[in-house]
């Protein structure tokens, strides 16, 4: 998917940004010349201070907004977006919520129901098909939102702080779930988070963005084998390095 005009992406890249900038009406420059390549099957986490353009970048990759300059290309012509809030339709049952992307694509009703049931089994919620969203816990609602995102059948998954509002135990359980699904389905994930330790727990690479405007200033490769735990010494050590670099960037911006 070419979101803005540009040269042809390397076939080895699932997502490719070249010189991407975004300026909003009024003159605010949110992103400035971002270059980023994400390989198929890679889990890449974006971190940075508030206002550095992380969510803006995801919106551009998803095609929800247009870049001012540069090119964005997504392999497979479609990326699925999972937001921080589940945004489930309260008047629909859980299974019907998962069916929404399938219905929009014209999938027949019987096939939609079968596919929604399979996706709810994938996120380990096979027994909640006929419940309403308000009957579920916050973590369960996020699992439903993940199942609905997977219903798009996209190979690229964009996640904008999907676990930020959850308690620590629920978040840790969902880390295991998204890692399992990512591996089973060979997805490419671009994941925005404010939580550096979460980024180290999940990511193959961590991309650090500068503050206002957002630019890629450093990347960290996570070499620790999986599965990882938030409390692992290696996770804590790399988290400390990334956090110190982030603090340097914040100090530079406010000084």
CA dist., res. 74 & res. 77, Å (int)? 6
Model confidence over 120-139: pLDDT tens digits? Answer: 999 999 899 999 999 999 99
Q: What is the reported pLDDT for 4? A: 34
Q: Which of 22, 39, 43 is nearest to 31 (CA)?
A: 22
In sequence order, the β-bridge partners of residue 159 are 82, 191
Q: Give pTM, 2 decimals.
A: 0.91
Q: Are 129 and 93 in contact (CB under 8 A)?
A: yes
Whether the pLDDT of residue 178 is over 90: the answer is yes
Q: How confident is the model at residue 11 (pLDDT cuts 50, 70, 90)?
A: low
Model confidence over 84-106: pLDDT tens digits? Answer: 889 999 999 999 999 999 999 99
Q: What mean pLDDT is predicted for residues 30-57?
A: 93
Where do the domains of the chain lie, and which CATH numbers do they carry? 1-78+155-255 (3.40.50.300), 88-153 (no CATH)
Q: What is the reported pLDDT for 12? A: 82
Residue owning tokens 């699992």:
143
């Amino acid at each position: 998917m070419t979101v803005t005009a540009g040269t042809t992406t390397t076939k080895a890249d699932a997502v490719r940004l070249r010189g991407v900038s975004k300026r909003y009406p009024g003159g605010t420059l949110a992103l400035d010349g971002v270059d980023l390549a994400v390989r198929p099957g890679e889990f890449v986490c974006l971190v940075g201070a508030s206002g550095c353009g992380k969510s803006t970048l995801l919106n551009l990759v998803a095609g929800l907004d247009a870049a001012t300059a540069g090119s964005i290309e997504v392999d497979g012509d479609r990326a699925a977006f999972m937001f921080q809030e589940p945004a489930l339709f309260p008047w629909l049952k859980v299974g019907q919520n998962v069916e929404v992307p399938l219905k929009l694509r014209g999938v027949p009703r019987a096939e939609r129901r079968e596919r929604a049931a399979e996706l709810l089994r994938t996120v380990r919620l096979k027994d909640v098909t006929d419940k309403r969203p308000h009957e579920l816990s916050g973590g369960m609602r996020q699992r439903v939102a993940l199942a609905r995102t997977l219903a798009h059948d996209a190979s690229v998954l964009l996640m904008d702080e999907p676990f930020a509002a959850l308690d620590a135990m629920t978040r840790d359980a969902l880390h295991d779930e998204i890692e399992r699904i990512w591996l089973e389905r060979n997805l490419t994930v671009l994941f925005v988070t404010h939580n550096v330790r979460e980024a180290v727990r999940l990511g193959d690479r961590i991309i650090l963005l500068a503050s206002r405007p957002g630019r890629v200033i450093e990347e960290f490769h996570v070499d620790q084998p999986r599965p990882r735990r938030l409390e692992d010494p290696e996770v804590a050590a790399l988290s400390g390095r990334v956090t110190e670099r982030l603090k340097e960037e914040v100090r530079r911006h406010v000084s």
